Amino acid sequence: MAADPRHGPAPDLWDPLVRTSHWGIALVVLANAVFTKGGSSVHVAIGWIGIALLVLRLAWGLVGAPEARFGAFPPQPRAAIAHLRSLWSGKPGHYRSHNPAGAMMVYALWISLAVVIATGLAMTTDSPATIADREAIVTSGDWSTLAGTSDAGDDDAQDEHARKWVKEVHEMAANLMLALAVLHVAGVMVESRALRRNLVMPMIFGRRK
């Protein structure tokens, strides 16, 4: 049987783009989920950094370094379950890129982020700079600037309903992403223990010991 090119020792390097986009996305998600006010200019500006990082990383999945390409970690639910079983039995395989269970998690995180971004964009008709201008005016005590903004058609109940719905999905996807991120970190810890190999170091420094 021909050797599966996806198996083998893990890569010596997560290249700089994978590492930068990983920690960048983690920071963006944390900042917007915990520290910024939803819908504020800062929230939207940080959101745009997230959009740029996700787009870059997905493009890298097509043309990037071999371990970073989607083909190196295809979504394979059966293989993911088999990998979780192998962790249980104490004999997990080594993979060049993300292991099959990790790969499913990576796609789930990216999909949730894409939903957060799409719904965030759908709610944002103004640029961060315009929102910042409006915030400054409101802070100065003049609320009139809020009349005539994106949800101006307050008389239009349908619009209002749609916006509420989009906001609901935005929040749900954001919460889902946080829950997945916690599971993801737990998975990294379990896998590191099972393989007796620190998986976090290569994501920080690139090199594996």
Where do contacts with ligand HEM occur on this chain (CB under 6 A)?
18, 21-22, 25-26, 28-30, 32-33, 38-39, 43-44, 47, 50-51, 57, 98, 102, 106, 109-110, 116-117, 120-121, 123-124, 167, 170-171, 174, 181, 184-185, 188, 199-200, 203
Eight-class DSSP state of 8: S
Query: For 202, which DSSP code?
Result: H
Q: How far is the CB of 1 from ligand HEM (least distance, A)?
A: 25
Q: Give the SS3 label for residue 70.
A: helix
Distance of CA 34 to the CA centre of its chain: 15
Closest to ligand HEM by CB, 69 or 137: 69
Strand partners, 28: none
CB of 81 to ligand HEM, least distance (A): 17
Q: How far is the CB of 143 from ligand HEM (least distance, A)?
A: 16
- Provide the residue type at 121 as one letter: L
SS3 2: coil
- Measured from the CB atom, the residue of 136 and 200 that comes closer to ligand HEM is 200
Nearer to ligand HEM, 2 or 147 (CB): 147
What's the closest the beta carbon of residue 177 comes to ligand HEM, in angstroms?
A: 6
Q: Kindly tell me which of 86 and 124 has the beta carbon lying closer to ligand HEM.
A: 124
**Burial grade of 13 (CB within 10 A; 0-12, 13-18, 19 or more):** middle
Q: How far is the CB of 91 from ligand HEM (least distance, A)?
A: 18
Pick the closest to residue 99 from 205, 192, 204, 209 (CA basis).
Answer: 192
Distance CA 146, CA 185 (A): 41
